[in-house]
Amino acid sequence: MAQDVTTQSRRKFLQFLAASPLCGAFAGLNPADAAAELAASPADAIDIFDLELTASGKIPVAHWGYLATGVNDDSTLRANRTAFEKYFVRSLRLQDVLDVDSSVEILGTRWPTPIVMAPVGSQKAFHADGELGSARAAKSRNHLQMLSTVSSTSIEEVTAAREAPLWFQLYTMGGWQGIRARLRRAEAAGSPVVVLTVDNVPGGDRHTLARAVRKDSRDCSVCHEGSGVAARTKPMAGGGTDERFGVTWEFLDRLQQETTMKVFVKGIVTAEDAERCVEQGVDGIIVSNHGGRGDDSGRGTIDSLAEIAPVVRGRTTLMMDSGIRRGNDIFKAIALGADAVLVGRPYIWGLGAFGQAGVERALDILTNELRVAMQSFGTRTIADIGRSNIQIG
């Protein structure tokens, strides 16, 4: 009984804090939507922000800080959300949208939605189910899943749980010896694509994380650090040498020669880099600023997409990551030229709140909101969504 009272008190406090004007003082550490409500079960979550609030009360504070943090004062993290507000949808009426088709084709495979599960490392830091819970949710909802180099669980185990191939996201610790070992394992596991991440460059301190760590007496660096000794304890990140090198265009060329997998580059934010990617023959570009956790540009990723899509012009697969929280966000990204979108924090909030069932709920919420957006805006299929559906206010 005492524990129930404590839990209820904590929930009331979190709801008060989320609605309080003081919440701005803890930007990035506490849930951002003041209307969010705690969910007693996955079905109780009305939107993604309910899952965020619920997860914030269950995930250890330092781990929550790692998940919530941006760079410096989190301005780029916030820009990823606020940038969506200047794009308005032009709604078409008298269209037959009784049954909409949200499916897309990515590299020859048909998926029920353009929602891709982004690579998020150390998922056992957020729930005991970890990447296996996410994989089982991906299987039950038939979503494409990407696995991080710093996953808590091996690619072999996660692939078995997903019962389908994963895309593998690549970090470069361990030098070429470590990289080759990871590539061979991913290839052997059936991964069709390796995603080279270039959007996690040193660009500033993660202050929200640093403040959260001070509030947590445990040493949880093994769970969530993305580099150094802690990262090498992860099943996909260990081994190799201490060789260090820059991730350059020459590195990308060598990677393309080193693997039989298709190569995507995640972290492109300018038209000139997108053009060079196309010229170098990459199989896909993911427009991303690492969820505001990389460089502190202050620019929302949706603005980068608006710059890049006219340059790519369908010459390679184009995806967008960072800031997607609602179905309308997905619609806007597709309208601006994305073939698909990645979501990271939203499904991890579901994982932290309720494990596998929470991930499923997060995916269902976004899928349902996308379908409602398509009906509201008069577009029956994803292919019907285009630049004419959107304008800058």
Model confidence over 31-41: pLDDT tens digits? 767 789 999 99
pLDDT confidence of residue 72: 84
**Dihedral angle over CA of 345, 347, 350, 355, nearest 10:** -120
3 state DSSP class of 117: strand
231 pLDDT above the threshold of 80: no
Which tokens belong to 136?
Answer: 């089982």
Q: Return the bridge partners of 106, or none.
A: 109
Average pLDDT over residues 275-293: 95
140 pLDDT above the threshold of 50: yes
User: 127, 143, 207, 290: which is the annotated catalytic residue?
Assistant: 290
Identity of residue 275: E
> Rounded distance, CA 201 to CA 27, Å?
22
Q: Which residues of 90-101 are buried (b: 16+ CB within 10 A; e: fewer)?
A: eeeeeeebeebe
Average pLDDT over residues 308-326: 97
pLDDT confidence of residue 168: 98
Average pLDDT over residues 171-190: 96
All domains of the chain in start order, with CATH = 2-71 (no CATH), 76-392 (3.20.20.70)
Within 8 A by CB and 6+ apart from 342, the residues are 116, 117, 118, 146, 286, 288, 319, 320, 321, 322, 324
Residue 290 annotated among the catalytic residues of the structure = yes
Mean pLDDT of the chain: 89
pLDDT confidence of residue 3: 41
Q: How confident is the model at residue 209 (pLDDT cuts 50, 70, 90)?
A: confident
C-beta of residue 26 within 8 angstroms of C-beta of residue 61: no
What pTM did the predictor assign? 0.90
Q: How confident is the model at residue 245 (pLDDT cuts 50, 70, 90)?
A: confident
- Characterize the bridge pairing of strands 390-392 and 262-268: unpaired
Identity of residue 280: Q
Average pLDDT over residues 289-313: 93
What is the dihedral sign for C-alpha 348, 354, 355, 360? Answer: negative
pLDDT confidence of residue 28: 44
